[in-house]
Amino acid sequence: MPLNVQVLFNRPQHEIASLLRDRLSRCIETSIVVGFATIDGLEAIAPTLLFPSAKLRVLVVGAGTFRAFDTMDRLGAQGVPPDRLRIHLGHTRPWRNVASTFQKYHPMLHSKIFYCEMPNGEAAAFVGSHNLTHFAMNGLNGEASVLLEGPASDPQFVTIREHIDCCITDSVEYDPGMKEALTWWTTQFIDGLRKKVNDQPQDAEKRVTILVLATAAGMPNNKDVIYFEIPKGLPQIERIGTTVHIFGFDSLPSSPGRALASLHTARFSLKCRTLGIEEDTGGRELEADWEVVNGAVPRLQSTAGRVRPSRRSDNEQVRVEVLGRLKERYEYLFRGPSDEWLPIYDSQTVLKVRPDQAELLTGLRLDPQEDGEYRLVRGLELKEPKGKQRYMSALERTSPESGNFILFSQRRRLRSGDEKQQHEVNED
């Protein structure tokens, strides 16, 4: 019989527990290696590991939850020999007397293999991304695995058994008295991983900046006054002296995002400060040397010394004074560091747990319960602070995603090493 290889599945969210339980129930011996286990994942297959108890050759777990170790205790109490339940603690740097928590970040076992010795000299192996968790086993995660079936003597199965043996060699026997320590060890990994994920630079200045991106035939001089409009609702700009950076392009890129990525190509960049803001009735005639004419492509043009704007009711009139050339080059940030986001759901794509698994999950009394419906997430939207609808609307209208070229940046970060390049651009 040749080796048969089956990819599981065309859709990544697909229940695998029933296939796995079927092979486990029919095999004469099984070896399991997983990177992570939870109580619900272990309980999904635990009955098939116990009869006979000698069926489980080895279970190697890289990390687990405290209640997952409770299930391993139960397996031991019901006849699984102690040396067949093992923990792979991963690798770490020596960190004795070192305060840095990063030193405790450790590469962990990530293998997922469910190997079954079948009757008549055959074998089956699930190899892939499924950990022993409810979400992986019951088709709620996006997973990919292959199922190999054929003669146990096939070279691929030989390689799988060698991999399992290596994992056993690097692991230690599970000790029920060490559950708290093992849970702590996993927590250390997760804390280190959290820092690894959130690796954005922390050197951003908490200074708001109004950005004006426009085409320009000419260039304002120092102390010239420029007029433009910006949406109401941004309290940070209602004081005199707010920083404004104006970038003049020969040809404006097709979107605000592209323009922000191309600031170094602007013909000039100016540093300005607000002189006055008209929020209520608005000024019918204002002194200004330049005006930003709004539209699909904003245009900075000179005036005869005065502007007579026809302001939108939801806009504020802003006049700024040019202080000089902008010699620094910044990365502009449009969200706060503590912003919260909400998922945008696809109502047509719903995942549900099978009724038999829902009953098991209910019996486990998980906190929180995990037997509800799950919906595909198509995007993220900013959570609106209570009582700040006007502010959120203004932020949305002055973000790069809005399509507008007059933007409100909440923070900014100096681009290291680029000051000389920006200085040369400004002096052209």
Query: What integer is the mean pLDDT of 301-321?
Result: 83
Query: What integer is the mean pLDDT of 261-281?
Result: 85
**Does 87 reside within a domain?**
yes
Give me the pLDDT at residue 160, please. 98
Residues 330, 347, single domain; the answer is: no
Weakest-pLDDT range from 139-148, 217-226, 334-343: 334-343
**Does 159 reside within a domain?**
yes
**Does 179 reside within a domain?**
yes
Contact between 219 and 302 (Cβ < 8 Å): no
Is pLDDT above 70 for 101?
Answer: no
Distant-in-sequence, close-in-space partners of 104: CB < 8 Å, separation ≥ 6: 92, 95, 188, 189, 191, 192
More confident residue, 149 or 281: 149
Residues 403, 369, single domain; the answer is: no
Instruction: Please name the residue that has the structure tokens 């991963």.
Output: 90
Residues 9, 99, single domain; the answer is: yes
Containing domain of residue 368, as a range? 341-382
Distant-in-sequence, close-in-space partners of 363: CB < 8 Å, separation ≥ 6: none
- Dihedrals φ, ψ of 261, to 5°? -75, -10
Query: What integer is the mean pLDDT of 292-309?
Result: 87
**Does 106 reside within a domain?**
yes
Give me the pLDDT at residue 99, please. 56
Query: What integer is the mean pLDDT of 286-301?
Result: 89
Give me the pLDDT at residue 288, please. 93
Beta-strand pair 299-302/209-216: parallel
Q: What angle do CA 297, 303, 308 make, to 5 degrees?
A: 85
Which tokens go with 287?
């002194």
Distant-in-sequence, close-in-space partners of 252: CB < 8 Å, separation ≥ 6: 213, 214, 215, 259, 297, 298, 405
Residue 302: other Cβ atoms inside 10 A: 16
Cis-peptide into 52, omega within 30 deg: yes
Is pLDDT above 70 for 1?
Answer: yes
Sign of CA pseudo-dihedral 357, 359, 363, 367 = positive
Contact between 365 and 379 (Cβ < 8 Å): no
Is pLDDT above 70 for 224?
Answer: yes
Give me the pLDDT at residue 323, please. 96
Is pLDDT above 50 for 44?
Answer: yes
Query: What integer is the mean pLDDT of 392-410?
Result: 89
Is pLDDT above 60 for 100?
Answer: no
More confident residue, 77 or 371: 77
DSSP assigned state of 354 = -
Is pLDDT above 50 for 428?
Answer: no
Distance CA 269, CA 329 (A): 10
**Does 204 reside within a domain?**
no
More confident residue, 342 or 109: 109
**Domain total for the chain?**
3
The band of 34, judged by pLDDT with boundaries at 50, 70 and 90, is: very high
Weakest-pLDDT range from 272-276, 310-314, 333-337, 346-350: 310-314
Residues 248, 373, single domain; the answer is: no
Query: What integer is the mean pLDDT of 299-312?
Result: 84
Segment of 122-136, 195-209, 315-329, 371-385 carrying the highest mean pLDDT:
122-136
Is pLDDT above 60 for 423?
Answer: no
Weakest-pLDDT range from 177-181, 211-215, 239-243, 423-427: 423-427
Weakest-pLDDT range from 105-114, 169-178, 248-257, 308-317: 308-317
pLDDT tens string 208-222: 899 999 999 899 999
Is pLDDT above 90 for 281?
Answer: no
**Does 202 reside within a domain?**
no
| Whole-number average pLDDT of the chain | 86
Weakest-pLDDT range from 59-68, 77-86, 279-288, 398-407: 279-288
Residues 312, 418, single domain; the answer is: yes
Residues 142, 157, single domain; the answer is: yes
More confident residue, 351 or 106: 351
pLDDT tens string 193-204: 887 787 777 767
**Does 203 reside within a domain?**
no
Distance CA 320, CA 338 (A): 30
Give me the pLDDT at residue 421, please. 44
Residues 179, 142, single domain; the answer is: yes
Residues 191, 320, single domain; the answer is: no
Contact between 280 and 321 (Cβ < 8 Å): no
The band of 312, judged by pLDDT with boundaries at 50, 70 and 90, is: low
Residues 397, 421, single domain; the answer is: yes
Residue 304, CB half-sphere, CA atoms under 13 Å: how many? 2
**Does 247 reside within a domain?**
yes
Residues 183, 318, single domain; the answer is: no
Give me the pLDDT at residue 420, please. 44
Is pLDDT above 50 for 137?
Answer: yes
Report if pTM > 0.85. no
Domain end position, chosen among 197, 218, 236: 197
Residues 307, 401, single domain; the answer is: yes
Segment of 105-109, 354-358, 399-403 carrying the highest mean pLDDT:
399-403
Residues 132, 104, single domain; the answer is: yes
Is pLDDT above 50 for 422?
Answer: no
